[in-house]
């Protein structure tokens, strides 16, 4: 039996019911049920700016001139100066593509059943670009900003080198507050007023809620983007929102990742990132006119009359001050 014959047999059984005085044919709701994730709170809160080129370059000052105590009657000094370091970051590309058949587009429009489906599918190309960027923000696979090893971003969990671990059974809230205090106690870098948020895996956020409930701790609440309110904890840096991000990864039991030692057997690693959001930026390449959004290109009809739609974004995420302005906390839990 040919494929065409098989399809014709399937079509012959398309009616829901055939009987005397009744022919029932299938109909569908005009609305497509869709609750897919399409955004990232983190990407909405992080500043985007034009890149200086490829690579994007900036300077970071890591030390001041050194002072010394001397004999007031025998003044002597050793000349010193500030230390500034050049930092490069290579721009990466994120794309998504859909091919839309001219025939299928015509059939859909002629039926009038799903008039907006083409526009929806085209819009979802942009969404696909954004979702890939959201996943790379924390867990991008590159291992170097200056000498790229993969086509993805170098994720924040790999960029940030200041780390802490909260053992299984230890207080998560106390551990996070202690790490914030450690950051503020840095005598070289002034972070007071800069630490602004704690991003964490939603499962870890639930562990914190359970701990707060068991300890009768009342968590505050903060609006982080329009219409999104999250819990917050009081720290030495003030009230910090706990922003749950589904794209924040976890580490399986008995696995080492992101510079941490292997998790114990039957224990997973959940991550929280304490951030100075002002020191995180996304450097964007978009041509003569700066456009911080993914761009959509229609490539025209190809030989089989399929329209090609391609979304693209040229950028990379940079966690400036990776060794002191941010901190990754691994929480060990079952």
Q: Compute the C-alpha angle 238/154/237, nearest 5°.
A: 5
Low-confidence ranges of the chain (pLDDT < 50): 1, 4-9, 11
The string of DSSP letters for 56-72 reads EEEEEEEE-PPP----T
Helix, strand and coil in the chain, % to nearest 5: 25, 35, 45
User: Closest by alpha carbon to 240, among 256, 262, 216, 224?
Assistant: 224
Whole-number pLDDT of residue 105: 81
User: Closest by alpha carbon to 62, among 328, 323, 332, 329?
Assistant: 323
**pLDDT, tens digit (0-9, with 9 covering 90-100), for 72-129:** 999 988 889 899 999 999 999 999 999 888 888 888 888 876 667 888 888 899 999 9
User: Closest by alpha carbon to 133, among 57, 242, 250, 44?
Assistant: 44
DSSP state of 260: P
Whole-number pLDDT of residue 6: 47
Beta-sheet pairing, 17-19 with 250-251: unpaired
In the chain, where the domains are located = 32-60+82-334
Give the C-alpha separation, 251 to 248, whole Å. Answer: 10
Peptide bond into 195 cis (omega under 30): no
Token representation of residue 258? 């992101």
């Amino acid at each position: 039996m040919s494929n065409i014959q098989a399809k014709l047999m399937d079509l012959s059984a398309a009616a829901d019911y055939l009987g005397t005085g009744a022919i029932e044919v299938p109909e569908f709701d005009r609305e497509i049920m869709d609750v897919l994730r399409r955004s990232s709170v983190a990407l909405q809160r992080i500043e985007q700016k034009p890149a200086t080129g490829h690579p994007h370059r900036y300077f970071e000052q890591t030390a001041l001139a050194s002072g010394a105590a001397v004999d007031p009657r025998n003044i002597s000094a050793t000349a010193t100066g500030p230390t500034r370091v050049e930092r490069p970051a290579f721009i990466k590309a994120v794309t998504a593509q859909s091919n839309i058949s001219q025939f299928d587009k015509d059939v859909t429009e002629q039926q009038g059943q799903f008039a907006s489906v083409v526009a929806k599918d085209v819009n979802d190309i942009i969404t696909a670009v954004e979702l890939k960027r959201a996943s790379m923000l924390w867990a991008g696979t590159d291992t170097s900003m200056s000498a790229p090893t993969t086509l993805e971003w170098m994720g924040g969990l790999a960029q940030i080198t200041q780390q802490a671990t909260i053992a299984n059974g230890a207080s998560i809230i106390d551990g996070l507050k202690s790490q914030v205090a450690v950051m503020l106690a840095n005598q070289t870098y002034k972070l007071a007023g800069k630490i602004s948020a704690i991003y964490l895996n939603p499962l870890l956020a639930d562990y914190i809620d359970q701990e707060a409930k068991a300890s009768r701790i009342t968590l505050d609440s903060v609006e982080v983007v329009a219409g999104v309110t999250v819990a917050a904890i009081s720290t030495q840096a003030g009230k910090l929102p706990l922003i749950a991000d589904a794209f924040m990864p976890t580490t399986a039991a008995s696995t080492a990742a992101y510079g941490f030692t292997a998790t114990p057997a039957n224990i997973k690693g959940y991550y929280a990132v304490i951030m100075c959001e002002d020191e995180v930026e996304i450097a964007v390449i978009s041509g003569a006119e700066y456009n911080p959004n993914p761009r959509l290109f229609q490539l025209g009809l190809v030989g089989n009359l399929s329209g090609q739609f391609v979304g693209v974004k040229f950028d990379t995420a940079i966690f400036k001050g990776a060794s002191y302005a941010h901190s990754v906390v691994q929480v060990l839990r079952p």
